[in-house]
Structure 1
């Protein structure tokens, strides 16, 4: 029977490769995601229902087991011996557990190491307002946010409160005091977490989810009240981000939301990770929209479709469209030409 140490054995079998995920599901051999592609680890035997049940039992504490029993699903960050922190997604399928283990990078990269432009790094200097870090799944959003939080903590004497589900990276207290709340463990909801952070006199609030109107209303309220709020959304560029935000609210509220958003917005950073030309790594393409007065006016006047042109015209301020960022990577020989038209 498989036990929890199967995770270490799988990692040993692919040592030196760029592995991000391990999948264990009954009826097939373990699978791994390497360089973005799912591959079966055929040197291992087929996983049985008893195996996943046993692994889950060894991996989760009693609180997580209770949540899994109630919801038949859980996403939790756990610490595994000889590996460190991993994110475990566990759900039911065909009457048994399926497990996804996401390997978290134990070395917390700096923004410079990630290839994030200096203008994005400098957002850590903002003391109030709203910064949105956007992108599809596996676009590096959480790593970027974590790096910015670390930068703030190292340079500013303040209180930072994060609201996450689950907590992925543990921050050390530096110049800043960093308190991290996990939804379902330390707080009941993201909305409640934001309200708690405001009441606890947080200077900086980070929320790893902003995708419903109650949460986003709380985010806007916090930013209006002088907090710096950093939030993530699964949107691909500036236009889709603003349109998604507005779509969360009824039509009669959208004008008000545009006004509030324009008042508090500092930046929208949209990310995409693209395989390098040699296939050995990923390169970060990034769209940067900084909330200049001209940009705020377009939002207030609902001229959202004009934003890409203004981003292009504002290159001297550090803004760039996703299209131009991808072209820059191609011109440097970092990515394949096929990405220019995607």
Structure 2
């Protein structure tokens, strides 16, 4: 097995290797795939409608070909990060019009590459089938909105659609903190400033600290995973800014538990109180295969109503699901309720929905009634 600390020898770009790579990008565009995956010992793989699809007509990738592609893609400073950290994430525009989020990493001592296509077309808030809570935030001036979900759940698209709506209708100062910057957002009616963590700012904590004294109306934070960044986000929300934060929990309760558990027991009551004071709501989402082709958005919605805020302050988080189950009239819904509705409407296969259910007994009951 090769030594994991050994770096590939410098290579010159092979025109043939780069031509093959550009052909795979063209195939991705033609087939409307979302991702391209390259790994040594496999043929190139696309993700179509959520499923991995091998390009069987292509040659199996060699280490030499993948090394050449990586060196073609990354700048010198990015290659240095790859050498020291063993992975790097960047965003680039390729073929002049195709933008990608690119993750280069090592697997079994060989370089691997995963690329997520970032469509240039701005998503339409109305056309995406998003919950009303997201649409209402077009006019929100203060508070904290979370958009959460696993990888490939449409979180970035939701945030981008909301920012686009604000950008086109409000004369605000919008700041995004991202790692990396995925979509480039031009200023329209608002001024949009996008800061790449690691390049434009040292880290999320220092970037958030600077925003305390900056004239920002809307702040987007792509990651909240430390005590310091959560504290700063809560402080900014309390100061009269609209904070849109991205999480990775599959459901609202899990997100609140994640934030709470970042802090020692002695501080949790204070943090939960601050969270309750500023919370607009939490939207958790999934993208699942739609029967007949394509994918469908499945959402869970928790609104920051007075009963919800009271339970959060008292750390009675397990009771939040009961409120969501019984507050459909207020625009709340659990993930299991949304999954059951998708099955009943013929949009999602029962087996697919069941795999994603939070409470299997509750889900089975909802589907059968």
TM above 0.5, yes or no, is yes
User: How far 1:213 sits from its partner (Å)?
Assistant: 1.7
Contact 1:60 1:78 in 2 (8 A): no
User: How far 1:93 sits from its partner (Å)?
Assistant: 3.2
User: How far 1:18 sits from its partner (Å)?
Assistant: 4.1
CA distance in 2: counterparts of 1:14 and 1:76, whole angstroms:
19
Gap regions ≥5 residues in structure 1 = none
Identify which of 228, 235, 238 aligns with 2:252: 238
CA distance in 1: counterparts of 2:234 and 2:50, whole angstroms:
35
Aligned residue for 1:176? 190
- Taking structure 1 as reference, are residues 208 and 15 closer, same or farther at Cα in structure 2, changes over 3 Å only? closer
CA distance in 1: counterparts of 2:270 and 2:134, whole angstroms:
28
Contact 2:288 2:348 in 1 (8 A): yes
Aligned residue for 1:191? 205
Contact 2:250 2:285 in 1 (8 A): yes
Aligned residue for 1:274? 288
CA distance in 2: counterparts of 1:156 and 1:64, whole angstroms:
36
- Taking structure 1 as reference, are residues 275 and 37 closer, same or farther at Cα in structure 2, changes over 3 Å only? same
- Please state if 1:162 is matched with 2:176: yes
Aligned residue for 1:89? 103
Identify which of 298, 306, 311 aligns with 1:298: 311
SS of structure 2 residue aligned to 1:145: helix
Identify which of 64, 85, 98 aligns with 2:112: 98
Contact 1:3 1:51 in 2 (8 A): yes
Gap regions ≥5 residues in structure 2 = 1-13, 358-369
- Taking structure 1 as reference, are residues 41 and 186 closer, same or farther at Cα in structure 2, changes over 3 Å only? same
CA distance in 2: counterparts of 1:134 and 1:14, whole angstroms:
27
User: How far 1:196 sits from its partner (Å)?
Assistant: 2.2
RMSD (Å), alpha carbons: 1.7
TM-score calculated relative to the size of structure 1: 0.94
- Please state if 1:320 is matched with 2:333: yes
CA distance in 2: counterparts of 1:132 and 1:315, whole angstroms:
19
CA distance in 2: counterparts of 1:168 and 1:108, whole angstroms:
13
SS of structure 1 residue aligned to 2:329: helix
SS of structure 2 residue aligned to 1:124: coil
Q: State the aligned residue count.
A: 341
Identify which of 291, 299, 319 aligns with 1:286: 299
Q: Deviations over 1:188-213 (max 9, x none)?
A: 11111222233222111101111222
User: How far 1:79 sits from its partner (Å)?
Assistant: 1.2
Q: Deviations over 1:230-268 (max 9, x none)?
A: 111111112111111111111111011111111011111
User: How far 1:87 sits from its partner (Å)?
Assistant: 0.9
Contact 2:178 2:221 in 1 (8 A): yes
User: How far 1:33 sits from its partner (Å)?
Assistant: 1.8
User: How far 1:72 sits from its partner (Å)?
Assistant: 2.2
CA distance in 2: counterparts of 1:174 and 1:12, whole angstroms:
31
Structure 1 stretches of 4+ moved >4 Å: none
